[in-house]
Amino acid sequence: MQKKVSRHLAQRGGGWTTLEEPFDARKVLPEAQPKDVLLMDCATMWLTNHLLADHDLQQQTEALLSGFDNCAADIVVVTNETGLGIVPENALARRFREAQGRLNIALAARADCVVMVAAGLPMVLKGAL
């Protein structure tokens, strides 16, 4: 995972400020300015961290979304679609898949634009690029 993160950081270049925040992604939101663009990469890892820490997922999601609603900057959120495959056989995986679906629905409802990328091809589901 560290190699993957390092590769992503190198690809982004020096123009990005990276903050590692496994639980409270809202920390940076009040400081953001209207000219800023924030990238949350990714909502799936954020959700996983909360799930494995046995946090209240609904409460954490509501807090994050409230932070997004009150943020002056544009926010781009990367997330994973987990509901297109088979239903997992174990309870934790099913709970995660369901929670990820609910999170994605809530994010998409607030978003001006939703783009799904499959096989490297972007498909606009909502709004325009």
Q: Residue 46 burial by CB count (10 A; 0-12/13-18/19+): exposed, middle or buried?
A: buried
What's the CATH number where 39 sits?
Answer: 3.40.50.300
In a domain, residue 108? The reply is yes
Residue 29 falls inside a structural domain: yes
Is the residue at 10 inside a domain?
no
Question: In angstroms, rounded to a whole number, what is the distance separating the alpha carbons of residues 124 and 115?
Answer: 4
Q: Tokens 């091809």 map to which residue?
A: 121
Note the pLDDT of residue 28.
Answer: 85
pLDDT of residue 2: 87
Q: What is residue 10's predicted lDDT score, i.e. its pLDDT?
A: 87
Mean pLDDT in consecutive groups of 10 residues from the start of the chain, 129 residues = 86 82 89 93 95 96 95 95 92 96 97 96 95
Provide the pLDDT for residue 44: 96
Catalytic residues: 8
Residue 58 domain-assigned?
A: yes
**How many folded domains does the chain comprise?**
1
pLDDT score at 1 = 80
Domain that holds residue 79: 21-126
Close Cβ partners of 108 (under 8 Å, ≥ 6 residues apart)? 114, 125, 126
- So what's the pLDDT on residue 34? 95
In a domain, 99, yes or no: yes
